[in-house]
Amino acid sequence: MSRQEYNLHSILIVSGSGPFTETVRRAIPSSAYVTVDVKQNASSARRAVMERSYDIVIINIPLPDETGVEFSLDIAESINASILMAAPGEVYEYALEYVTDQGIMVLSKPFEGSRLNQALRYLMAVQEKLRKVEKQVQVLEEKAQEQRIVTKAKFYLVEEKHFTEDEAHRYIGKLAMDNGVSRKRAAQKILEDI
């Protein structure tokens, strides 16, 4: 993947400041997102997070209805989004100390657009790694499920049909090959015919 090539991301900007929102919009690579939603306070952002999934959440603290620190921690706990918090200089150290251990990136305001762009690229890279891990986990779960079904069918063949374990293994493989189906589907067919 080249430096400027990203998978598409859904982004939520939570900010009571229009200029901040526009700065963030300009910093997001145009080819990097599907949607960019903007909420002006924590309560509307909480509703948005319950209604849809976001890959990246950018929070400009303080928010009009709360500091935003608790909101960022709630989001970090409830979804697998990468979170960036922009904090004014006077509360930057406090915010950094309070949220960093939860995987929340904190930038001190004001910041240059290039720092924001770098932070966004980093968060997108984190999301790509998470997606890869989620795919690997899904593949492993599917393999484990297949193994459970095949093992159950083998157990049935050994116990009820008096096959040896090797015979049961070969029988399921042959049944799968003869019918052009997976071993899992062949094992399911055996179990369905019980």
The model's pLDDT over 51-71, given as tens digits with 9 standing for 90+, comes to 998 999 999 999 999 999 999
Contact 90, 81 (CB under 8 A): no
20-29: per-residue pLDDT in tens?
999 898 888 7
Give yes or no for residue 4 having a pLDDT over 70.
no
What is this structure's pTM?
0.73
Question: Rounded to whole angstroms, how far apart are CA atoms 137 and 37?
Answer: 29
Average pLDDT, the chain: 89
